[in-house]
Amino acid sequence: MRALSIAATGMQAQQTNVEVIANNLANMNTTGFKQQRAEFQDLLYQNIEQPGAQTSDSGTVLPTGIQLGAGVRTAAVARIMSQGDLSSTSNPYDLAIQGSGYFHITMPDGTDAYSRAGNFALSPEGQIVTDKGYTVAPGIAVPSTATSVTVNAQGQVQASVPGQTAPQTLGQLELVRFPNEGGLSAQGDNLFTETTSSGSPQAGVPGSAGYGTIQQGFLETSNVNPVEEITSLITAQRAYEMNSKVVTAADDMLQTTSRMGGS
Amino acid sequence: MVQITPSRHASPGKVFHHAFGDVWETQENQHISAGTSAARKTDTEDQKGSDGAMDNTLLVSLSSQLASYRSMDVIANNIANINTAGFKRDTVKFEEYIQNVTPAEGEVGAQAISFVADKGTSRDLTEGAITRTNAPFDMSINGRGYFTINTPNGPRYTRNGHFALDQDGRIVTEDGNALQGDGGDLTVTTDDGDIHIAQDGTVTGIRGQIGKVQLVSFDNESALVKEGDSRYITTQTATPVESPNIQQGTLEESNVKPVVEISKMLEVLRAYQTTASLTESQQELERNAIDKLAETQS
């Protein structure tokens, strides 16, 4: 009875689907979070009778064969990279990227990570760091005497220092792009790392061709659409139920079989 | 003892092809015809005392039960793929296999026995609903046609329009096989910015046209063989679709209709149970016959 195992693959797939949806909903208010979606593919088919097999000497062929499927599998959990809304926070160290690109973060162990979440702050040493305290590359230090810090659309960080009329340029933020953003590996804490499938990072100045611009005092909200997620959740739940009905029906058939001739 | 197997290849029988749209209607008809013909034969042959009659009922039931098992497998696969983009549901077609009965001496009106055999699975090619995903490389095909993808084993065809980029910027499927345009692989670089895919398949970035997604069609779509992973394989020649209609940012859902599948599933289940009870009645009949015969003998 193949139906039992086929229905089991269906239930597993829907479970993955619900898990992905649950994660999206849980991260509805996570800065820079990108919605994920489970993608499914049918499993291998067993050819009992090949379509097009010859049925007589005169060349007549089977118009359709017999192909039995083996169920479904989760092919990918794809990330949807669309832009999230920008919400105003008025915090000078909250930066949002409008358009494509990632902030370049240097991890404590010296490796590179990338993030869309621009909720930065200052470290005790005055460096611009993430909410976890990791340095935002190239590591811009803000003097303690600075009265106000401005980050323009091109990523230039400037500070007004008492006693100076012209603002002092502190550094230049860079953005990083990838040939295939979907291939980045999510590390949690809103961080991504490079993989073979993402391709190598290409750094550039914000606002140059193909790179997004930086908005100071804004945060990019997650691009999760709750209505869409709830609808998907209902569909997934119903699909799960239906697969479990197949299990029940297959079980009924097997029970009938085992009762046959039993009396 | 007549050896009968519900196989189309056993020689003395004739095969009748039923081209009914609704598969289960076909099978129900066969239940009835199988039941009646076998019963009539039992009447005549009991008097003659010839062999085979009782086993025929069991074998006819068995052929029907095997068919039910296969139907259940196909329905289970449809339901399992209810969320698989571009999936087309399968239905099982049955045919009647007729075993001619050589009349016993002096017997008139001997009837053929009909068995059920599964003839094939046919694909429902209707379009699935279109759902919006807003992913830039998700495409759905409105109307006929298939995407061509280049796999290590040669070209394959699919209607699952979920594509993404790989590390070289090629538009690829979930398995990393490249989508084919009119000039081969479609490669997008990071300098192309936002990608727009027009209705006719033209892929453009901010630097201009990148290529054109090629849709193909076939003379006999139902003869495409499912390979799993949403792919089809065929030896037929692929002809480019003249006026393609591609929708960017959408996916074609599976065309499995839950109501249809669940009701078919129940039908199969009931048919199976009915046949099983028929088998039991037959056994009961045999037991009674043995008892009665034993009484007369003593």
- The reply to whether residue A236 touches residue B134, judged by beta carbons under 8 angstroms, is no
Helix (H, G, I), strand (E, B) or coil at B229: coil
Each as own residue / partner, the long-range contacts of residues B49-58 (CB below 8 Å, 24 or more positions apart, any chain) are B50/B104, B51/B1, B51/B2, B52/B1, B52/B2, B54/B282, B54/B285, B54/B286, B55/B1, B55/B2, B55/B4, B56/B2, B56/B4, B56/B113, B57/B278, B57/B279, B57/B282, B58/B279, B58/B282
Tens-binned pLDDT, residue by residue, of chain B (298 aa): 444 444 444 334 333 333 333 333 333 333 333 333 333 333 433 444 344 555 778 888 888 888 898 899 999 999 999 999 999 999 888 877 777 777 666 666 667 788 888 777 888 899 999 988 888 899 999 988 999 999 999 999 999 999 988 888 899 998 889 999 988 899 988 778 788 999 999 999 888 899 999 899 998 888 888 888 899 998 889 999 988 999 999 999 999 998 999 999 999 999 999 999 988 888 888 889 889 888 876 6
Cβ contact A69:A42 at 8 Å = yes
The predicted pLDDT at position B223 comes to 83
Closest by Cβ to B167, choosing from A199, A209, A236: A199
Is residue B286 exposed (0-12), middle (13-18) or buried (19+ Cβ within 10 Å)?
A: middle
Name the 3-class secondary structure at B231.
strand
Q: How far does the CA of residue A67 sit from the closest CA of chain B (Å)?
A: 6
Structure confidence by residue, pLDDT tens digits, A199-213: 889 999 998 888 899
Chain A residue whose CA is closest to B94: A66
Tokens of B236: 């037929």
* Phi, psi (rounded to 5 degrees) for A73: -140, 155
Integer Cα distance of A113 and A244 in angstroms? 42
Q: Helix axis angle, B258-297 relative to A226-259, nearest 10°?
A: 10
Asked if B87 is an interface residue toward chain A (Cβ–Cβ < 8 A), one would say yes
Instruction: Write down the pLDDT at residue B104.
Output: 67
**CB-based contacts of B214, cutoff 8 Å, min separation 6:** B147, B148, B180, B181, B182, B201, B240
Q: pLDDT of A188-243, one tens digit each?
A: 888 999 999 888 899 999 988 888 999 999 999 999 999 999 999 999 999 999 99
pLDDT digits (tens, 9 = 90+) for A72-91: 999 888 888 888 999 999 88
Please give the average per-residue pLDDT across A100-107, as a whole number: 92
pLDDT at residue A143, as a whole number: 87
Query: Is the CB of residue B66 less than 8 Å away from at least one CB of chain A?
Result: no
Q: pTM for the complete prediction?
A: 0.76
* pLDDT band at residue A113 using 50, 70 and 90 as cut-offs: very high
Whether the CB-CB separation of B75 and B64 falls below 8 Å is answered with no
Residue A67, beta-bridge partner list: A47
pLDDT for A97 beyond 60: yes
**Residue of B201, B90, B67 lying closest to A71 (CA atoms):** B90
Instruction: Tell me the chain A residues in contact with residue B168 when contact means C-beta distances shorter than 8 Å.
Output: 179, 199
- pLDDT of A1: 77
CB pairs under 8 A between A and B: 225
A121, A131 Cβ separation under 8 angstroms = yes
Residue for token pair 């001739």: A261
DSSP classification of residue B209: E
**B window 209-248, beta carbon within 8 A of A:** 220, 222-223, 225-230, 235
* Residues A45, B123: C-beta atoms closer than 8 Å: no
Taking alpha carbons only, the member of B220, B256, B235 closest to residue B84 is B256
